[in-house]
Chain A
Amino acid sequence: MDSQWIPRGLQRTSFPRFLAWILPWAGLLAWGLFGAALCLIEGLNQTNMDNRFAFGLWIYLDLTIIAFGAGAFFTGFLLYLLRREALRPVINSAVVLGLICYSGAIIVLMVDVGQPLRAWFTFWHPNTHSMLTEVTFCLTCYLTVLLIEYVPVLLKNRQFRRIPKMLVFEFELHKLMPILAGVGAFLSFFHQGSLGGLYGVMQGRPFAFREAIGIWPTTFFLFILSAMAAGPSFLIVTTRLVESLTKKRLVDDRALRTLGRISGFMLAGYLALKAIDTLVWINATSPGAGFPAYEYYERASFGTWILFLEIGVFGVLPALLLLSRHTREHRGWLLTAAGLVLSGIALNRFVLTIQTLALPTLTFDPFLSYVPSWQEVATFTAVVAYGVLLYSLSYRYLPLFPQERELAQS
């Protein structure tokens, strides 16, 4: 039915089966869009956020998926600028994933802000001292870059290739990819950092506040490193996921191992810095602001276990697994380690968004909890469904994995 659109030589499931896969996701997307529309039309009272929990599920989601989407810039950077050719098999997938993560984050942000129609004020009257300004500028620019990077992938579609202009444009654009990869890396470096800085600069929230190095708090650098660790791991996990869903081999092990090694290396660096940062924070920054650090962990649901889990099980363990050649070359361990890395980064973002806001500052203020409303969950689901749909369509109609044909034949 749609065979004219499927890249030649690639095996794709029949259209009805594809439809059967797509439809539930489309349903979820529709439900999610309904939830989001409620938030836009009725207002944010539809959410369970409140004055204390000014940020909720959505910001957490944004922080997490943007960290996961870091694979796009980091892989592009390594491939086009550092010439790590081993990563070529995953670059297209990385771009699509990056696009999904970033566009998803921006869609959610537009629902999250109270006045989306005024969002352009940030550009017109920017407060350049705000980390959010940096985030907004970089995210917008980088999303543009990702869209442009996606164009060559899109134009590889069989039907588009029949149009001479598009074919030639794709070819020429592809040649300029190193420039875009460079710009993307530059932008990502800043916004990944600014997302961390978002919390690190909050002088009034000693749980999140960190000392500054130059003009940036330490979380700025920690976020960059952790995103660089998360991005490759996300590629490993998604690739393996797609492989298991399609029952096909799409990327050779070498590429994934390279990704794993890079992720492990970044994670190790991140952990070392985070350990130092945490010690400084516990012993100097936080008590200096009038907050004994141990009090943060006296709440029933947020004990020190969360810190140990983040650094130990989700940090040191995957770092060792990824850095050791033996475990890295084992497919199961590699996938486990990548999964742990992602859990760790997700937990880190959770701690920084949710725990920061749950902890009271005033001595007579209670510790609060927050459970997202269905509208929030729906919007979240919409983004996931959108991502799955975009990826499924891209996978079906675009040659996402250059090695696929070869691996299928071998």
Chain B
Amino acid sequence: MPLTRRDILRFAGAATAGIVFSPLPWKMLDDVAIWTQTGPWIPKVPRGPISHVPSICSVCPAGCPVTARCVAGVPSSLRAASGSGQPLCPIGLTGHHLAYHPLRVAGPCLVEHRGEKVLTTSLSLDEALRRLPSVDGDRSVMIVDQRPGRAISDRYRAFVRQHPGSFYAVPDDDASMRTVGYDLERAHTILAVSTPLLDGWTTPARTARLIERRSKNDGLRILAADAARSRTATLADRWMPIRPGSEAALLVALLHLAHAHRQPDMTPSMRAIIERTTPERVAAAIGVTPVQLRHVYEKLTERGPSLVVVGGDGSNSVDAETDRLAFQLNRALGAASNGAIRQRPAIPVSEGLRERDLAVATPLSSVPDASVALVIIDGDEGTCHLSWESIVRTLHPGASIVVSLSPVLTALASHADLIIPSPAPFESFGEATGDGTDIACRYGVSRPLHPRRPGSVDPELVLGHLSGQVIEHEAALRDKVAGIWASRRGQIRTPDGSTTNLTSVEGAGSLWTALSEGAVWTLEGAPASASVRALESDASATDRLAARLSELAAGGATSTIAVVPTTWAPVTSCSRLSPLMTKLYQESGLRPTSEVAAVAPATAHACGVEDGAVAELRAGEQSSKVKVRVSDSLAPGMVQLSAGPDPVGFRSPEPPAVANALPRGRAAELRKS
């Protein structure tokens, strides 16, 4: 009997019916739906015992107390330690992500910069160390320490001291401005000149205290002088819009009102400048009226202690001259005598080392050109101030090698010849040495939270290779702590907020235990003496100032617009941010990315650009594509750019933002592209 089509159809039909009356189709439907819920492409959460580890945040020097919530030994969140009253910033909240940064350097590697691309070739630690030239009389080494005050800093200084002709270099800011702290807590009137006082300029805890005082109406008055209606300007009691780049003129005019030229210790040239800079003469250049200037001055003198802060974009300064003027104005307002500004003490050196055996820090800009054969850049991941130009200048034209110890591929590290990555934050013991705006110096130790990634090398090992004296990282820190304990000064503050004088701590060992459990040692500075050497004006500075003021008075070119770079201060202490920062930059627009150029509606109209358009920003030789954002918060005639590390550039080590290379108030052109 032949098999007909009908038979096959019947068979198939019945088989289908049989399957329908089995769990197969129904369970498949269910399982496929579950597959869409739990498929392998959806990351699985970690499982395991949960622990809460008290520590501090060592991402930036501020050292805020944190509690790490760890799952199976890996931190899943960093929270402000309860009871400490010290909140964190977004960088701290995501500090535990940094170990998994996509630009993490897996191990020692050679770096090649080919055009825009950065190529790395890994090599073993031994090979990497072998590539370091031995340091002898001919060849000098420069160690760039971007986090001075740490245990390793002492070792660096000792090493440099033993090798004459070598340099222990620190960023210029650390050498100058950062020695003076501001007692914001005690001040009643604060004038913030182009300073994001309430937007991350200082630690979150101190900002929060200012906000708290303001909302309690305790008499705190915040004045803001800023070209843009910045966040600080918005939150301030009074805002004075000034022309971009006129900060120095404003300060000189205020010095004039304070009769600073009558002060005996003023240099004659400076005295002359102040004397002739009457409010009437410079008001127009600043973009305000003389009455407004007098009014601001009245406010400053009405209720003391008064403070003038000129922090620039972030914790870095506007420029050295402005810093000096601010220091003199503060002094004129009596801040030095009433303790509103103080000279921050230095952290005691490690046990076994003596201050006199250590090299003095050289500001990086003071290192002579073409003088070093080996550059070691440490703490690169923890800042973004330094430009490659400031380093390359110092290199000996012959054989020279630049070694970065950065755990991530930062903009600077991508220019180095060799990277010997140190552990990422929270992979080993970390240190916090205190915020640059604070009146106190601090020292805190953060515990390792992550399992340490193989390939990272403690900086002590690199230094030990050069000096021949190897010390363990933890041992170096213990020595530092012992040094602090030996000083017998200051107090420790535990995460729950209680404080103990160091004198009542039994020994270096118990200080170490306390610090490794989240306590922080602090030592308040004395009122700043009349002479903070670094802030005294010298003749050349005065000349520069005079030139600038006359340039400003001339009005500059009116056809161009001024570039005002701004940085969200916390990011200046972290050159690579957690990828999660896309939430603030790309995903909410709360902070502008480096490609955003904000302008006033009138300026946009004059330049022929629209909101959201892509335009070309040209400043001197520099040119860059920017995305225009039209904002009513800005004065016409300026363009605001985001400076600092590119917060969203975590995918490739692209060149830093345009704004980083532009000085404040630089004339620029904005054109439709």
Listed in ascending order, the chain A residues whose CB lies under 8 Å from chain B are: 115, 117-118, 120-121
Complex formed: what's the CA distance from A178 to B36 in Å? 42
Q: How far is the CB of B632 from chain A (nearest CB, A)?
A: 12
Give every chain A residue within 8 A of B32 (Cβ-Cβ): 117
Q: How far is the CB of B20 from chain A (nearest CB, A)?
A: 16
Shortest Cβ distance from A116 into B: residue: B36
Shortest Cβ distance from B33 into A: residue: A118
Give every chain A residue within 8 A of B35 (Cβ-Cβ): 117
Give every chain B residue within 8 A of A120 (Cβ-Cβ): 29, 33
Complex formed: what's the CA distance from A120 to B36 in Å? 13
Listed in ascending order, the chain B residues whose CB lies under 8 Å from chain A are: 29, 32-33, 35-36
Complex formed: what's the CA distance from A110 to B29 in Å? 16
Q: A120-B29, A121-B33 are in contact. List 8 more A-B contacts (CB 8 A).
A: A115-B36, A117-B32, A117-B33, A117-B35, A117-B36, A118-B33, A118-B36, A120-B33
Sampled A-B contacts (6; CB under 8 Å): A115-B36, A117-B32, A117-B35, A117-B36, A118-B33, A120-B33
Count, A-B residue pairs, CB within 8 A: 10
Complex formed: what's the CA distance from A120 to B30 in Å? 10
Pick from B29, B32, B33 the residue with the most CB of A within 10 Å: B33
Q: How far is the CB of A163 from chain B (nearest CB, A)?
A: 12
Give every chain B residue within 8 A of A115 (Cβ-Cβ): 36
Complex formed: what's the CA distance from A121 to B33 in Å? 9
Q: How far is the CB of A111 from chain B (nearest CB, A)?
A: 15
Complex formed: what's the CA distance from A73 to B424 in Å? 68
Complex formed: what's the CA distance from A120 to B25 in Å? 13
Shortest Cβ distance from A115 into B: residue: B36
Q: How far is the CB of A162 from chain B (nearest CB, A)?
A: 15
Complex formed: what's the CA distance from A121 to B32 in Å? 12
Complex formed: what's the CA distance from A120 to B35 in Å? 14
Give every chain B residue within 8 A of A118 (Cβ-Cβ): 33, 36
Give every chain A residue within 8 A of B36 (Cβ-Cβ): 115, 117-118
Closest 9 CB pairs of A and B: A117-B36, A118-B33, A117-B32, A115-B36, A118-B36, A117-B33, A120-B29, A121-B33, A120-B33
Q: How far is the CB of A119 from chain B (nearest CB, A)?
A: 10
Give every chain A residue within 8 A of B29 (Cβ-Cβ): 120
Q: How far is the CB of A379 from chain B (nearest CB, A)?
A: 21
Give every chain A residue within 8 A of B33 (Cβ-Cβ): 117-118, 120-121
Shortest Cβ distance from B29 into A: residue: A120
Shortest Cβ distance from B37 into A: residue: A118
Complex formed: what's the CA distance from A120 to B29 in Å? 9
Complex formed: what's the CA distance from A120 to B33 in Å? 9
Complex formed: what's the CA distance from A24 to B247 in Å? 68
Shortest Cβ distance from A114 into B: residue: B36
Shortest Cβ distance from A369 into B: residue: B612
Complex formed: what's the CA distance from A69 to B36 in Å? 33
Complex formed: what's the CA distance from A118 to B39 in Å? 14
Complex formed: what's the CA distance from A167 to B32 in Å? 40
Complex formed: what's the CA distance from A118 to B29 in Å? 9
Complex formed: what's the CA distance from A118 to B36 in Å? 8
Complex formed: what's the CA distance from A3 to B32 in Å? 45
Shortest Cβ distance from B35 into A: residue: A117
Shortest Cβ distance from A51 into B: residue: B587
Pick from A115, A118, A121 the residue with the most CB of B within 10 Å: A118
Complex formed: what's the CA distance from A249 to B32 in Å? 51
Q: How far is the CB of B575 from chain A (nearest CB, A)?
A: 29
Give every chain B residue within 8 A of A121 (Cβ-Cβ): 33
Complex formed: what's the CA distance from A252 to B35 in Å? 55
Q: How far is the CB of B213 from chain A (nearest CB, A)?
A: 28
Q: How far is the CB of B62 from chain A (nearest CB, A)?
A: 32
Complex formed: what's the CA distance from A59 to B33 in Å? 24
Shortest Cβ distance from B611 into A: residue: A366
Shortest Cβ distance from B36 into A: residue: A117
Shortest Cβ distance from A119 into B: residue: B33
Q: How far is the CB of A140 from chain B (nearest CB, A)?
A: 15
Complex formed: what's the CA distance from A117 to B33 in Å? 6
Q: How far is the CB of A360 from chain B (nearest CB, A)?
A: 15
Q: How far is the CB of A369 from chain B (nearest CB, A)?
A: 10
Q: How far is the CB of B569 from chain A (nearest CB, A)?
A: 25
Give every chain B residue within 8 A of A117 (Cβ-Cβ): 32-33, 35-36
Complex formed: what's the CA distance from A38 to B22 in Å? 35
Q: How far is the CB of A364 from chain B (nearest CB, A)?
A: 12
Shortest Cβ distance from B32 into A: residue: A117
Q: How far is the CB of B37 from chain A (nearest CB, A)?
A: 8
Q: How far is the CB of A49 from chain B (nearest CB, A)?
A: 16
Complex formed: what's the CA distance from A118 to B34 in Å? 9
Complex formed: what's the CA distance from A117 to B32 in Å? 7
Complex formed: what's the CA distance from A118 to B32 in Å? 8
Complex formed: what's the CA distance from A121 to B34 in Å? 12
Q: How far is the CB of A331 from chain B (nearest CB, A)?
A: 48
Complex formed: what's the CA distance from A118 to B30 in Å? 9
Complex formed: what's the CA distance from A299 to B399 in Å? 65
Q: How far is the CB of B589 from chain A (nearest CB, A)?
A: 11
Shortest Cβ distance from A120 into B: residue: B29
Complex formed: what's the CA distance from A62 to B85 in Å? 55
Q: How far is the CB of B34 from chain A (nearest CB, A)?
A: 10
Complex formed: what's the CA distance from A120 to B34 in Å? 13
Complex formed: what's the CA distance from A379 to B33 in Å? 25
Complex formed: what's the CA distance from A288 to B32 in Å? 46
Q: How far is the CB of B614 from chain A (nearest CB, A)?
A: 16
Complex formed: what's the CA distance from A120 to B31 in Å? 13
Complex formed: what's the CA distance from A407 to B29 in Å? 52
Q: How far is the CB of A371 from chain B (nearest CB, A)?
A: 13
Q: How far is the CB of A221 from chain B (nearest CB, A)?
A: 36
Complex formed: what's the CA distance from A117 to B38 in Å? 13
Q: How far is the CB of B30 from chain A (nearest CB, A)?
A: 10
Shortest Cβ distance from B587 into A: residue: A51
Q: How far is the CB of A202 from chain B (nearest CB, A)?
A: 24
Complex formed: what's the CA distance from A117 to B29 in Å? 8
Q: How far is the CB of B628 from chain A (nearest CB, A)?
A: 15
Q: How far is the CB of B113 from chain A (nearest CB, A)?
A: 33
Q: How far is the CB of A121 from chain B (nearest CB, A)?
A: 7
Complex formed: what's the CA distance from A115 to B29 in Å? 13
Complex formed: what's the CA distance from A121 to B35 in Å? 14
Complex formed: what's the CA distance from A323 to B36 in Å? 54
Complex formed: what's the CA distance from A115 to B36 in Å? 8
Q: How far is the CB of B354 from chain A (nearest CB, A)?
A: 60
Complex formed: what's the CA distance from A129 to B545 in Å? 73
Complex formed: what's the CA distance from A71 to B36 in Å? 38
Complex formed: what's the CA distance from A121 to B36 in Å? 13
Q: How far is the CB of A110 from chain B (nearest CB, A)?
A: 14
Complex formed: what's the CA distance from A115 to B35 in Å? 11
Complex formed: what's the CA distance from A118 to B33 in Å? 6
Complex formed: what's the CA distance from A117 to B36 in Å? 7
Q: How far is the CB of A174 from chain B (nearest CB, A)?
A: 25
Q: How far is the CB of A115 from chain B (nearest CB, A)?
A: 6
Complex formed: what's the CA distance from A118 to B38 in Å? 13
Shortest Cβ distance from A118 into B: residue: B33
Complex formed: what's the CA distance from A118 to B35 in Å? 10
Pick from A115, A117, A121 the residue with the most CB of B within 10 Å: A117
Q: How far is the CB of B90 from chain A (nearest CB, A)?
A: 21
Q: How far is the CB of A325 from chain B (nearest CB, A)?
A: 53
Q: How far is the CB of A122 from chain B (nearest CB, A)?
A: 12
Q: How far is the CB of B395 from chain A (nearest CB, A)?
A: 45
Q: How far is the CB of A358 from chain B (nearest CB, A)?
A: 15
Q: How far is the CB of A363 from chain B (nearest CB, A)?
A: 15
